[in-house]
Amino acid sequence: MQRTQYFNFHILGVFNGFYRTEQIEREALAVPGVTVAESWGFDTVRRVRPNDTESDSIVMYAVPADTRMIIPTVLEGRWLLPNDENALVINSSVLGLEPDVKVGDTVTLKIDRRETEWKVVGIVRGIGGQAMVYTNYPYFARMRGFTGRAVAVTVQVDPADAANQERVAKELEAHYKSVGYAQAQCRQLRSSGSRTNSSSTSWLHFCWLWRCYWQPSAGWA
């Protein structure tokens, strides 16, 4: 599988607050050209090693286990299941930072200064060299204190040519702002015929940074 096929969506929208997932998706589907919308969460984590040192920052994506927006290549173990709670799938780039981690391990992750335990259930192929981990959205949202709410939306459009993606991204952002998502930002993730190009990880990382700027510690109950 080529890197361009990893993310199976065309547009990513991020918000400066938590909104109900059903509202996020309903509003997206109200924009002509949007065919599928899926709410995500994301955050930054650091692994706390057995010797109490910490890793560099790793981006965590909280996605539905049956997500249509990622086509992972599973190298070891498995992908997420709907009933997973503290299950963690890591990408192969994480191993560049933490080479001792393997499937079946329980690892400690620090999220917003709080340490939590996670079980590694799978390793997927990395993309763009960015260390990423994935967990089940319902568990992540409950743990973070925003059950049923999200800070990002991924969108598929039809037709999927670059010009239509650009048009839909602009209209989607304008629509979200018109219904009260004042700081919404929506961007297309590719510029040519493939579903997503290698610049996707840079935009995803920017979205995480932008999100943290607005709400650096939101969500803990």
Whether 46 is in a domain gets the answer yes
Q: Is 129 left (phi over 0), alpha (psi -120 to 50) or beta?
A: left
- Closest C-alpha among 9, 1, 29, 57 to residue 176: 29
- pTM of the entire predicted model: 0.85
175-181: long-range contacts (C-beta < 8 A, 24 or more apart)? 175/27, 175/30, 175/31, 176/13, 176/15, 176/27, 179/27, 181/15, 181/19, 181/27
What pLDDT was estimated at residue 140? 95
Whether 111 is in a domain gets the answer yes
Q: Is 128 helix (H, G, I), strand (E, B) or coil?
A: coil
| pLDDT means over runs of 10, the chain (221 residues) | 67 92 98 97 94 95 95 96 96 96 98 95 92 95 92 95 96 97 86 46 51 42 30
Whether 203 is in a domain gets the answer yes
CB-based contact 120:88 (threshold 8 Å): yes
32/174 Cα distance (integer angstroms): 13
Structural domain boundaries, residue 97: 3-214
81/179 Cα distance (integer angstroms): 34
Cis peptide preceding 50, ω within 30 of 0? no
Number of domains making up the chain: 1
Whether 105 is in a domain gets the answer yes
What pLDDT was estimated at residue 112? 86
Whether 168 is in a domain gets the answer yes
Whether 220 is in a domain gets the answer no
197/83 Cα distance (integer angstroms): 31
Whether 219 is in a domain gets the answer no
- Closest C-alpha among 187, 189, 185 to residue 210: 185
CB-based contact 12:24 (threshold 8 Å): no
Whether 221 is in a domain gets the answer no
